[in-house]
Structure 1
């Protein structure tokens, strides 16, 4: 069936003229067949996009979705407290049904705010049943997802994953053409030995899977994780390095040499003390990063504030440098840049840039429709500036994935939200009850912001020390 989208402004992001012009879009099923002025297609179903900006859907390249039921718990926590609280306290108390509902609700949340593609960095897996449940939560949500399998994430963790990852590849993820595909969320080299890291990367290559890895999170990135992988030939174009805050400049150059992509999570990085976002350092090395949320235990889950944080943090750093070099005054990072980070660069990091990320013939229709008549942004004079600086989830009127609406007129399509909310609250309450029943549980344990876990044993220095021999 053909669909014609008419009457809106379109930000194709496919070239310098694609920043928000009146254009029509013709679809044949999931596929874009034309992007032109005044398309006529009498047999097509017509969608009126008046007062809308139509643009590619956002791509979140790194989110720990299983933690959805712990939302807001870490709003006032450091990175070490997060490791102790979310991982050491709660993770091993999750049942498969808990991780399922967390992934399903978290994926729906992301869709609702315009994130059409999301890489779920799934480090809450403690058994094959948990892995299946986490994957099924993504499959049951109507979005495009990458399941970043990372079993039994710990400090450190050397357990073999070969059998479970091969099982997933030959059961749920036999094809790379579906809406949900498989990747390896690498445990190392920050959190496990180099020998385990090398075995895991070789396994991913054998199974033809992309690899996404944490590298450069505060002190956890100061033992040269990227350099150690580079020396063993473990980096390539299918490797995404997440964060990059504290890796050295020569390690960023190594990433560039190998064609690696990067994912920065500026909001959580600033809040939890990872170090300043590496946006400018990556750009100086020729790497255009993608953007990610990381965890909704600590920060908001929408791409608008993530773009805004990336933009203003780098502008602050650049302007601070310019104070001592007045001849360099000027903003090198533009609004269009961060919108590209949130769309086409995210698609590239997920290996999906041949399918999504821009609006042009031959690609699939993953679109968001943003209201331009909303009082918070009206009148919209600079569409991509609006998206990067003033945009917010309330503008997301409709969301389309592979040519089908998953949100229309402000409402999610075909999803029983009251039922899912009830399941989510039940899961949250049961997880908290189990945590309080553990031997030696902190009597102040609560989810309302009062609880401040001790980071003892989970500081960056402690973990770096354990792996220093590598």
Structure 2
């Protein structure tokens, strides 16, 4: 099957391909075959990209979709309040079905906003059935996903058997839904446990992700001291650590994920894109959680750009766009498959409306995407060359029915947790 995306403003994110004021993208059997000013393909199905920006799909490498039902409830919460509310209060009341519907709707929300690849950092680890429900939710979406299993989150229990069980179910690393391991760090468990889990991850061929925040301790230095920094690990937030610790991550070949809106709102401090870049890292951006912030990467890009330019003027629009495309793909070990419009890569592509009144006229498409774009202009989305959003609507998705299921889930969990839904809930900052 051949498809050609014809006549769009192409932002390839591949220096060898470049950006085209008007160009065509030819797809065959889910693979990008050619990106050129003009491609002859008389037998291809045509997608008209006139007045569209054509670019690789966005990549979010850190999001907790199981919390989708409680969207917006924590807009004014600090991190301790969020932790008590989501982990201490409502999570214990989650049934597997609540996880499934939250994960499905959260993944579809991301897909609708142009996130073709997403790492779902799962820490509603109440039972194996909850993990299976999350995987079911991801598989029911047409998006490319990585299930990052935070097995044993909040405990020191052994988790090897459970990781091996899920690895057997997600054994194909080329499948649309893959697996990573959300590690417990040295701030949550012993360094010996981290070492043992990294050894199992390497045995099973799994990349890992790890939340890091420091209030004066030196968690990265402790990992480095025990030779536990890996080029297959993404370190999330990484606030409060020293510049020398950032250099340790860079020297080990690791990657970092910043959630700028969450970090600012919850009291983590300023997003560290500038410090990370200075240390030799390529920062990536993520949403984190929708009880606190918007579920699209456009918002994260605008915040990251505005904050860093306000601090020292060093951030550029293109580097921010790289952070949610090719650099984020690299952080997940997927940059040979996705993240740019490069012949040979999978056709994960988004078309953004350049003729929308909030975008037009587009002079610099990169700057326009970072500074002006929003989910409402995501016109078309392809994953593996298959159109999953067309004319601004998800294909084959009964959105109204899913929202009804999600709302019912929220209402049930809130009632069981004794949580008011009238905007008055202010959880205590300590458990």
TM-score (norm: length of structure 1): 0.90
Tell me if 1:148 matches 2:145: no
Structural mapping, 1:345-384, within 5 Å: 345-384=327-366
CA contact (8 A) 1:20 1:383 kept: no
Question: Residue 124 of structure 2: SS of its match in structure 1?
Answer: strand
Distance 2:218 2:20 in 1: 42
Alignment of 1:58-457 (within 5 A): 58-154=58-154, 157-170=155-168, 172-216=169-213, 219=215, 222-318=216-312, 331-436=313-418, 445-457=419-431
Q: What secondary structure sits across from 1:275 in the alignment?
A: coil
RMSD: 1.2
Aligned to 1:466: none
Cα deviation for residue 410 of structure 1 reads 0.6
Using the TM superposition, give the Cα deviation of residue 168 of structure 1 relative to its aligned residue in structure 2, in angstroms: 0.7
Contact residue 24 and residue 36 of structure 2 kept, 8 A: yes
Q: What do the CA deviations read for 1:75-125 (whole angstroms, capped 9, x no partner)?
A: 010000001111000111111111011100000000011111110010111
Query: 1:127–1:151: 8 Å Cα contact kept in structure 2?
Result: no
Q: 1:411 and 1:41 mapped to 2: Cα distance?
A: 27
Q: Greater CA deviation, 368-377 or 39-48?
A: 39-48
Shift of 1:433: 1.3
Contact 1:84 1:454 in 2 (8 A): yes
Q: Aligned partners of 2:63, 2:88: CA distance in 1, in Å?
A: 19
CA contact (8 A) 1:76 1:449 kept: no
The CA distance in 2 between the partners of 1:290 and 1:16, in whole Å, is 22
TM-fit CA distance, 1:196: 2.0
Q: SS state of the match for residue 153, structure 2?
A: coil
Offset of residue 189 of structure 1: 2.0
Return the offset for 1:16: 7.3
Shift of 1:346: 0.8
- The separation in 1 between residues aligned to 2:152 and 2:390, in whole angstroms, is 38
Cα distance in 1, alignment partners of residues 163 and 151 from structure 2: 9
Question: Could you say what secondary structure the match of 1:244 adopts?
Answer: strand
1:69 deviation in Å? 0.6
| In 1, Cα distance between equivalents of 2:344 and 2:422 | 48
Counterpart-to-counterpart distance in 2, 1:75 and 1:247? 26
What is the rounded CA distance, in whole Å, between the counterparts of 2:373 and 2:43 in structure 1? 35
Distance 1:194 1:449, change over 3 A: farther
Q: Distance in 2 between matches of 1:147 and 1:232?
A: 27
In structure 2, stretches of 5+ residues that fail to align are none
Question: 1:405-458, CA deviations, whole angstroms, 9 ceiling, x for partnerless residues?
Answer: 11000110011212211211111111011102xxxxxxxx3233311111124x
Conserved 8 A contact 2:120-2:145:
yes
Q: What secondary structure is seen at the aligned counterpart in 1 of 2:158?
A: coil
For residues 174 and 150 of structure 2, the distance between their equivalents in structure 1, rounded to whole angstroms, comes to 22
CA distance in 2 between partners of 1:20 and 1:395 (Å): 20
Distance 1:3 1:16, change over 3 A: closer
Q: Give, in whole Å, the separation in 2 of the partners of 1:346 and 1:312.
A: 20
Does the residue aligned with 1:215 lie in a helix, a strand or coil?
A: strand
Structure 2 distance, partners of 1:185, 1:424, is 25
Which deviates further from its counterpart, 19-28 or 356-365? 19-28
- What secondary structure does 2:409 align onto? helix
